[in-house]
Amino acid sequence: MSSKSPAKSSPGSQAGAPTPHQTFLPRADEAARRKHRNLLTHASTRDFTAAHVSNMTEDACYWRFVEMRFGSRTQVTCPDCGAIDKHYYRSDRCQWRCKDCHHTFSITSGTVLHSRKLPFKLILLAIAFFVSGAKGVAGLHTHRLLNVQAKTAFLLNQKIREAISLIRELPPLQGVIELDGGHFGGRPRSGRVRRRPGKDKQVAERIQSQMAAQNAGKPIPKAKPSKANIERLKKRRIVFVLRQHAGLHGLGAVTTRVFVLQAESAAEVRAPIMRSVEPGSTIMSDENAAYTWLSQHFDHHVVNHQLEYSSAAGVNENQAESFFSRLRRYVLGIGHKFEPQYILDYAVEMAWREDCRRQTEGTKTDALTRGLLSSHTSKWRGYFQGRIPSSRTDSVAQG
């Protein structure tokens, strides 16, 4: 396996194994680490929550959306010709008429929320609930909170996830980067009968055949999945993640990139890595053979997960595993399953939650509101009328 050996301790350092992460990242001082840990419980993070929205009127929510999109209540931009002016405002219909091209438009014209039917207060409440969920928000939970149809809540949550893709920037990763792949979707199931007659005998025979093959130096035979599980496994995909460290040990990662691949192989991971990582960066990975070529382009370090979670020199994938933990919490406790064509949408959402975990509620709410009001035709428009979004699952990059 191709990898860099851990750097030796500098002269004058204490004998023995180096402190974890000493090789790659300097340690943050205790004050910075304490502030980093306690930020989520500080009152300053609750600057705009669902409680604030509940105290607002529909008119106040409407003008908040206007200011989010145009930056002003008077100087607005025509989405048709781009003219910025104090256009004619029709207060009875909450619409403007352009002074130049005479086009009539509203606050949501040409945006992800185009042709919206919900009141602005309910949309703002949905954004506040979405932001507050550390592991994501289910559509059925949103439909109970807002007292709307389940289809309405599902599409609103999906449009918010689409807004995340519109607001995320994708600069190349540099510095110290962790990467790993996780299996998601296509979860196999056990049979209906818990213990079949003769099951113990079959297990004993399989173990004996495996031991005999191991002693003879032959490949160990594996149990064959059922036909139903073979069909389920066709929906399995690899969520491939790259995470850039903050630069100081103890502050975690700051930037996350996610890809959805068919397999964790060298052929699949090469393009995402080369497209996302600056040459010469330091990469930490596990012992998977798909990453042996990284030493040709990067400062590559490996941790053997068959022996340890973190090497004595500090090589680990804890930040990548942190992302997978959050994504798996959504699967197990919120969404309960993944369909292949939508895996990337949820992976991007969890990447955004990881990167914005230290931002205030108001900052995240404003960012999502601007994303919903950006000039973009939603792929979810007409979903329940048969216009299904195209698949975005295989070898597709997203931030």
State the 10-residue block means of pLDDT for the chain, 399 residues long.
Answer: 42 40 64 70 89 96 96 94 94 94 95 95 97 93 96 96 93 94 88 68 81 84 80 92 88 93 95 94 94 94 91 90 95 89 94 94 96 92 83 47
**Gap between the Cα atoms of 266 and 238, Å rounded:** 13
**pLDDT at residue 225, as a whole number:** 80
**Which pTM does this prediction carry?**
0.85
Report yes or no: 246 and 252 within 8 Å, Cβ to Cβ: yes
Angle formed at CA 283 by CA 280 and CA 286, multiple of 5 degrees = 150
Indicate left, alpha or beta for 7 from its phi (over 0: left) and psi (-120 to 50: alpha). Answer: beta
**Gap between the Cα atoms of 137 and 130, Å rounded:** 6
Pairing status of strand 282-285 against strand 176-184: parallel
**pLDDT at residue 194, as a whole number:** 64
The two three-digit tokens of residue 176, written as one number: 């110290």
Report yes or no: 344 and 393 within 8 Å, Cβ to Cβ: yes
